[in-house]
Amino acid sequence: MGSPFGSPEMWRHDDLIGVSRVFDEELALAAYECGAFPMPAKPGLMGWYSPLERAILPLDGMRISRSLRKSIRHYDVRIDTAFDDVLDGCADRRRPSGWINREIRRVYRRLYKRGVVHSVEAWTLGGDLAGGLYGVSIGGLFAGESMFYRPDIGRDASKVALVAVTVFFLVLTSTVEGVREVDRAVVNALVLMGATQTEIIRKVLIWAALPWIFTGMRIAVRYAFTTTLLAELIAANRGLGFLIELNSGNFNTTGAYAAIVVVVICSVLLTELLSRLESRISHRVSQA
């Protein structure tokens, strides 16, 4: 389907590019494919936005602060196990500037059933949903729509979910590319020799894709740091990102740079650890 709003060159120079009385799954997907998303404008009208400036998380720049790394241990991250609960949490009318109405919930529930919309949930170790986010996945794009957390049990829960999304897609993408690089002739030969699909995956594909997996993990480490730092800069009352913002606001250059140095050191150490682990595993595989 082409753009339902005409050529982007003809769009108005504004975040809001149009409104409609019709709002359904097909229109929403067509909008995402051309870089727009829905948000209610007024009762009975759906606004369609393509912001002149928008937040894009570069996957090669994420950093995870020390405080958030500690918080991650207290959560169990799951995908698509409680979509309705996440949507309800994001649509809570007690939240300031809430925008998720009945029509948004209806359409996104249908898109979830079609496998286009996904939820990422952060659960406490006691089994309570502490926070999460949901978004639309089209091709290589994951457009995050909204996130929430319960301040009584999970003030870092939404940030943990955001980190999980970034890291998951990085490693997944690298793994898929690694599997695609495997010689098809080798796989076909194993099939002719009677190898099962499980045996091919376990004995060939995983090992062949191992360098790609580690590459994705190394990049994911950096992304995780950046995403966490961004989340703490925007909305947090602790962590390295918060310290950077606080010290910058107080013109404490030394304190701000000290927090930045800590972030860089942690990122370098984790990347080096993964590189050493990859070398050891690759050495064992070559000797097998």
Q: What is the pLDDT of residues 99-145, one digit of tens each?
A: 899 999 999 999 999 989 999 999 998 899 999 999 998 866 788 88
Question: Is residue 32 domain-resident?
Answer: yes
The distance between the two most distant Cα atoms of the chain, rounded to a whole number of Å, is 69
Identify the residue with better confidence: 60 or 94: 94
If one counts every other C-beta atom within 10 angstroms of the C-beta of residue 164, the result is 22
Domain count, the chain: 1
pLDDT of residue 182: 78
Question: Is residue 68 domain-resident?
Answer: no
pLDDT of residue 196: 85
Question: What is the average pLDDT across 224-252?
Answer: 68
Question: Is residue 283 domain-resident?
Answer: no
CA quadruple 5, 10, 15, 19: dihedral positive or negative?
negative
Question: Is residue 209 domain-resident?
Answer: no
Question: Is residue 44 domain-resident?
Answer: yes
| Residue reference for tokens 């970034």 | 166
pLDDT of residue 122: 92
pLDDT of residue 74: 82
Partners of 48 in beta bridges: 18, 38
Determine what percent of the chain is predicted with pLDDT higher than 90. Answer: 23
Question: Is residue 31 domain-resident?
Answer: yes
pLDDT band at 189 (very low <50, low <70, confident <90, very high): confident
Question: Is residue 13 domain-resident?
Answer: yes
pLDDT of residue 221: 64
Question: What is the average pLDDT across 259-275?
Answer: 77
pLDDT of residue 228: 64
pLDDT at position 76 over 90: no
Inter-CA distances, 268 with 63, 64, 162, 166, 239, Å: 11, 12, 21, 19, 19
Identify the residue with better confidence: 217 or 187: 187
If one counts every other C-beta atom within 10 angstroms of the C-beta of residue 149, the result is 22
Identify the residue with better confidence: 106 or 164: 106
- Which range of residues forms the domain containing residue 45? 8-49
pLDDT of residue 232: 62
pLDDT of residue 112: 94
CA angle, residues 87, 173, 202, in degrees to nearest 5: 110
pLDDT at position 287 over 70: no
pLDDT at position 88 over 80: yes
Identify the residue with better confidence: 287 or 203: 203
Question: Is residue 20 domain-resident?
Answer: yes
pLDDT band at 223 (very low <50, low <70, confident <90, very high): low
Identify which of 114, 116, 121, 112 has the alpha carbon closest to the alpha carbon of residue 89.
121
Tokens standing for residue 230: 């961004």
Give 246-262 pLDDT, tens digit per residue: 777 788 888 888 877 88
pLDDT of residue 233: 62
Give 6-58 pLDDT, tens digit per residue: 888 888 888 998 899 999 999 999 999 888 999 998 888 999 999 888 766 66
Identify the residue with better confidence: 204 or 125: 125
User: Among the listed ranges 4-13, 192-201, 273-282, which one has the minimum average pLDDT value?
Assistant: 273-282
Determine what percent of the chain is predicted with pLDDT higher than 70. Answer: 78
